[in-house]
Structure 1
């Protein structure tokens, strides 16, 4: 099955949830496509811009957990694709070189929708 995850936030707790959901879905032999949009693209910069405003994010930050380890592990399986939204990239003046190696491509919502058509969608805002 295909799983599409839309990540629209750079809040640490939400990025951590998207990372764990990606890793679990891949471990269950699903193909996962994560679409980072709006502030979510900031999480995938070479130097991630992560907000810490909620209690869960504060706890994660204090624990020094590397939430990106879940994305890296899932990417090694070959079943996770991470896409940055072209509109959000334009708004934030970002290009492919702005993003970490985790980002596979910059695409529009139509491309993402076609990629996960018929699959399960999870939205993380």
Structure 2
């Protein structure tokens, strides 16, 4: 198991959904036609989806803009530049800026057709998100 669950556990004032089941996880991957990286799998199995310090990550066991399947499918419909092997981790809600993750766990910012790698892992991105609160 990755270390991301312990990092999330240490967040004060964490809001979370209920962790997802193996079936929900497999159904989501099948619907999106990709495999989630280990850190994302560990995170959604433990927490479903999370919100903290103005940061909201997509996940499972939630509906609407935080549901990883719904928001990823919507972004793929709206943006022809959305990479095939990626899913939405966070919608910044600012000028079309979203944070996406690929099957290897690398994290990118995507704004319309501008794609930029910002972190090697979801855990590294979590560290950045936590630093925003300081």
TM range, smaller chain: under 0.3
With the length of structure 2 as denominator, give the TM-score of the two structures. 0.25
The answer to which structure has the higher helix fraction is: 1
Question: Highest relative contact order (Cα 8 Å, sep 6+), 1 or 2?
Answer: 1
The answer to which structure has the higher strand fraction is: 2
